[in-house]
Structure 1
Amino acid sequence: MYASSTKSTGPPGRMKKDESLLGKLGGTLVRKKKAKEVSDLQEEGKNAINAPLLPSSADLLPEELLLDESAEKTMLDPTSRENPKFKELQKVLIDWINNELEEERIIVKDLEEDLYDGQVLQKLFEKLSGRKLNVAEVTQSEIGQKQKLQTVLEAVNDLLRPQGWTIEWGVDLIHCKNLVAIVYLLVALAMHFLAPIRLPEHVSVQVVVVKKREGILQTSHVTKELTTTTEMMMGRFERDAFDTLLDHAPDKLNVVKTSLITFVNKHLNKLNLEVTELESQFADGVYLVLLMGLLEDYFVPLYNFYLTPESFEQKVHNVAFAFELMQDGGLKKPKARPEDVVNLNLKSTLRVLYNLFTNYKSAE
């Protein structure tokens, strides 16, 4: 045991020599490693100076890395995707679509995943326009989906382009789930068809544009404005007889208002109620709800609306509920938005009341 132990120990002098050699080798390796780190750092700095537009591969998706020469691709900047106002805009649009397509039993949860194949866009356009498109109901293949998208977008573009819209969407953009293109399209449809929703104002996003030039990927950032002010958005296609009346014949406005006041009081007087100011007295929705009950000859349960609304939301609820009663009575969805009536927008209130007047002027 002792001899075996002594044999495995080895000469003391040899150990020191080996340790000295390893120490020298280790020091050389450390110096080489540090030299390489310095070289790498210098190269990184050089690249940063000489190619400031060259993004890191981590910032690009695999598709961008395979771009052909002179090709270009856009994608939403990650910081814009998390923008609260952009998220709010998406939620408003999703709620609007689901409300419009409720009878179709279609539920949209994600704009990118649920709209890219054209199925929902087809149903939405048909509902809004009242026009049936000649497309296959179900398309599973990529070719079939793009054909459906082509038909839908051609119909949309034929409708919107004459109104001065810049087309910011296309078949390939929608099908590859480009969220900015999808939102652009939905905002345009909502504005054109005067959707009864409040789009968040001044929503902008940053879009990263990736180009391939001489084998090098270059990036730049472009700001895309998705919404402006409510007045500009909803006023773009809203001009009608009331705009003409207010702009060119204001002297006749009082005649119209007097006729409408006479009409509504004929029915509200049955409840010992009287209107003298159209703008303010219909703004909380209470008179509108009660008026619909009187015109259709039924009692509206008090738990369905706020009899003494205090908040803006409660007033909007009342006006929106009155709009539902109008549709239940066979009237078309009012072009005005509940929020506009609550905000004392005279033209919106006149439109709603005039619609009731034309449909119930003979009612007792």
Structure 2
Amino acid sequence: MSSTSARSAAHSGKIKKDESFLGKLGGTLSRKKKAKEVSDLQEEGKYAINAPLLPASTDLLPEDMLLEENAERIMLDPTSRENPKFKDLQKVLIDWINNELEEERIIVKDLEEDLYDGQVLQKLFEKLSGRKLNVAEVTQSEIGQKQKLQTVLEAVNELLRPQGWTIDWGVDSIHSKNLVAIVFLLVTLAMHFMAPIRLPEHVAVKVVVVKKKEGILHTSRITKELTTTTEMMMGRFERDAFDTLLDHAPDKLNVVKTSLITFVNKHLNKLNLEVTELESQFADGVYLVLLMGLLEGYFVPLYNFFLTPESFEQKVHNVAFAFELMQDGGLKKPKARPEDVVNLNLKATLRVLYNLFTNYKSAD
């Protein structure tokens, strides 16, 4: 055999050997790949069996998979995120926070992104409670944020828990941007401090509850009520003299109403106006605005309010504007809400007028 033939035969043998080696390697890799696919498929099947109630539209995050035994995580169902009433509630809360923290030059645009680190919650609680918290002003690290949040929430809980409020939030839920927990906290604060806002009634959202039991994730969907009726929400506040009068001495209430009517007519008569029914004649805010101008001694430009309001919104605007005039005159922001006055809520109207009587009873 020539040297050329020998080299050819050797080369051919080497190719077959290489092909055989690559074939075995390929087969091994292929088998491993198939085995992994089977394993992954089995895991997916096992998870599908263990979590049959998990909504297909809900994405579990890594931290959801790493729950400790008997721990649970609550997530907002994506369908509720687009709920118009839930969106309206968020807007009302955002406007309220921005109004409260206007002097701090804080502007909240998104509840999840702006409140999770405790900074805004700290300022809001301090403004509402008049209490200064001993926390760092700015914290960038996650540990620092959670420490601040812990301090803020402890102060909030110490104030609310003795009053019977449900504490349905925590450091982890707020810091993880759980929108349901954040909104529930804000709604509770708004009700406790009798915020001058109108919370949308009967706002409820669907949430997904993920709980680990015996190493297996169990999921369920429940409906969580965030607000009830205005009357029920406002009924949680501290009772005052008007509650007592209405409940136990309605006859004496007429004496108070007569005194207030005499007071307001003393000033409104200057414009040839007269009040006989407190709750109805102040409901559109016109007399309230004019009364403030008379008490403070200035003319209120007619373009600042609706002289003949027709819609509910126009009446609310008038009453809210009157409240602004009261604050400009040095009075505290009324605890009553403009909407309550417009809705012929007698106690709300009496509270507003009695506050004026107390501060201006000696005015000419």
Aligning the two structures, in what range does the TM-score lie when normalised by the shorter sequence? 0.7 to 0.9
Q: Is the 8 A contact 1:286 1:306 kept in 2?
A: yes
What SS does the aligned partner of 1:200 have?
Answer: coil
Alignment partner, residue 259 of structure 1: 259
Query: In 2 relative to 1, CA 71–129 (structure 1 residues): closer, same or farther, beyond 3 Å?
Result: closer
How far does the alpha carbon of each residue in 1:156-177 deviate from its partner, in whole angstroms, 9 at most, with x for none? 1111111111100111111111
Deviation of the 1:53 alpha carbon: 3.7
Which consecutive residues of structure 1, in runs of 5 or more, have no partner in the other structure? 1-40
Note the 1:86-101 alignment, pairs <5 A: 86-101=86-101
Query: In 2 relative to 1, CA 289–57 (structure 1 residues): closer, same or farther, beyond 3 Å?
Result: closer
For residue 293 of structure 2, what is the amino acid of its counterpart?
Answer: G
Alignment partner, residue 359 of structure 1: 359
Q: Structure 2 CA distance, aligned partners of 1:203 and 1:110?
A: 19
Deviation of the 1:137 alpha carbon: 1.4
Alignment partner, residue 242 of structure 2: 242
Q: Structure 2 CA distance, aligned partners of 1:351 and 1:45?
A: 63
Q: Is the 8 A contact 2:51 2:217 kept in 1?
A: no
State whether structure 2 residue 213 is matched by structure 1 residue 230: no
Alignment partner, residue 309 of structure 1: 309
Deviation of the 1:68 alpha carbon: 4.0
Q: CA RMSD in A?
A: 2.3
Alignment partner, residue 162 of structure 2: 162
For residue 357 of structure 1, what is the amino acid of its counterpart?
Answer: F
Alignment partner, residue 180 of structure 1: 180
State whether structure 2 residue 132 is matched by structure 1 residue 127: no
How far does the alpha carbon of each residue in 1:17-52 deviate from its partner, in whole angstroms, 9 at most, with x for none? xxxxxxxxxxxxxxxxxxxxxxxx9x9999867863
Q: Is the 8 A contact 1:55 1:217 kept in 2?
A: no
Alignment partner, residue 142 of structure 2: 142
How far does the alpha carbon of each residue in 1:106-138 deviate from its partner, in whole angstroms, 9 at most, with x for none? 110100000011111111111111222122211
Q: Structure 1 CA distance, aligned partners of 2:50 and 2:150?
A: 43
What SS does the aligned partner of 1:59 have?
Answer: coil
Note the 1:190-339 alignment, pairs <5 A: 190-339=190-339
Q: Structure 2 CA distance, aligned partners of 1:298 and 1:56?
A: 63
Query: In 2 relative to 1, CA 230–217 (structure 1 residues): closer, same or farther, beyond 3 Å?
Result: same
Query: In 2 relative to 1, CA 46–111 (structure 1 residues): closer, same or farther, beyond 3 Å?
Result: closer
Sequence identity percentage? 92
Query: In 2 relative to 1, CA 298–73 (structure 1 residues): closer, same or farther, beyond 3 Å?
Result: same
Q: Structure 2 CA distance, aligned partners of 1:327 and 1:64?
A: 48
For residue 138 of structure 2, what is the amino acid of its counterpart?
Answer: V
Query: In 2 relative to 1, CA 214–54 (structure 1 residues): closer, same or farther, beyond 3 Å?
Result: farther
Q: Is the 8 A contact 2:50 2:216 kept in 1?
A: no
Query: In 2 relative to 1, CA 158–54 (structure 1 residues): closer, same or farther, beyond 3 Å?
Result: closer
Q: Structure 1 CA distance, aligned partners of 2:46 and 2:173?
A: 36
Q: Structure 1 CA distance, aligned partners of 2:58 and 2:310?
A: 52
Q: Structure 2 CA distance, aligned partners of 1:323 and 1:133?
A: 30
Q: Structure 2 CA distance, aligned partners of 1:137 and 1:47?
A: 44
How far does the alpha carbon of each residue in 1:255-297 deviate from its partner, in whole angstroms, 9 at most, with x for none? 0000000000111111111111101110000111011111111
Deviates more, 1:331-340 or 1:171-180: 171-180
Q: Is the 8 A contact 1:54 1:216 kept in 2?
A: no
Q: What is the aligned length? A: 325
Q: Structure 2 CA distance, aligned partners of 1:57 and 1:340?
A: 40
Q: Structure 1 CA distance, aligned partners of 2:294 and 2:103?
A: 28
Query: In 2 relative to 1, CA 173–259 (structure 1 residues): closer, same or farther, beyond 3 Å?
Result: same
Deviates more, 1:139-148 or 1:89-98: 139-148
Q: Is the 8 A contact 2:282 2:341 kept in 1?
A: yes
How far does the alpha carbon of each residue in 1:172-216 deviate from its partner, in whole angstroms, 9 at most, with x for none? 111111111111110001001111111111111111111233443
Q: Structure 2 CA distance, aligned partners of 1:266 and 1:55?
A: 65
Q: Structure 1 CA distance, aligned partners of 2:49 and 2:262?
A: 76
Q: Structure 2 CA distance, aligned partners of 1:96 and 1:58?
A: 31
Deviation of the 1:70 alpha carbon: 4.0
Query: In 2 relative to 1, CA 51–281 (structure 1 residues): closer, same or farther, beyond 3 Å?
Result: closer
What SS does the aligned partner of 1:74 have?
Answer: strand
Query: In 2 relative to 1, CA 276–50 (structure 1 residues): closer, same or farther, beyond 3 Å?
Result: closer
What SS does the aligned partner of 1:224 have?
Answer: strand
Query: In 2 relative to 1, CA 54–119 (structure 1 residues): closer, same or farther, beyond 3 Å?
Result: closer
Q: Is the 8 A contact 1:194 1:238 kept in 2?
A: no
Query: In 2 relative to 1, CA 54–200 (structure 1 residues): closer, same or farther, beyond 3 Å?
Result: closer
Query: In 2 relative to 1, CA 307–209 (structure 1 residues): closer, same or farther, beyond 3 Å?
Result: same
Deviation of the 1:56 alpha carbon: 6.2
Alignment partner, residue 72 of structure 2: 72
Q: Is the 8 A contact 1:55 1:218 kept in 2?
A: no
Note the 1:11-90 alignment, pairs <5 A: 52-53=52-53, 59-90=59-90
For residue 216 of structure 1, what is the amino acid of its counterpart?
Answer: I
Query: In 2 relative to 1, CA 136–299 (structure 1 residues): closer, same or farther, beyond 3 Å?
Result: same
Give the TM-score, by structure 2 length: 0.84
Q: Structure 1 CA distance, aligned partners of 2:97 and 2:44?
A: 49
What SS does the aligned partner of 1:223 have?
Answer: strand
Q: Is the 8 A contact 1:263 1:361 kept in 2?
A: yes
How far does the alpha carbon of each residue in 1:83-106 deviate from its partner, in whole angstroms, 9 at most, with x for none? 111111111101111111111111
How far does the alpha carbon of each residue in 1:304-346 deviate from its partner, in whole angstroms, 9 at most, with x for none? 1011111100000000000000011110110100000000000
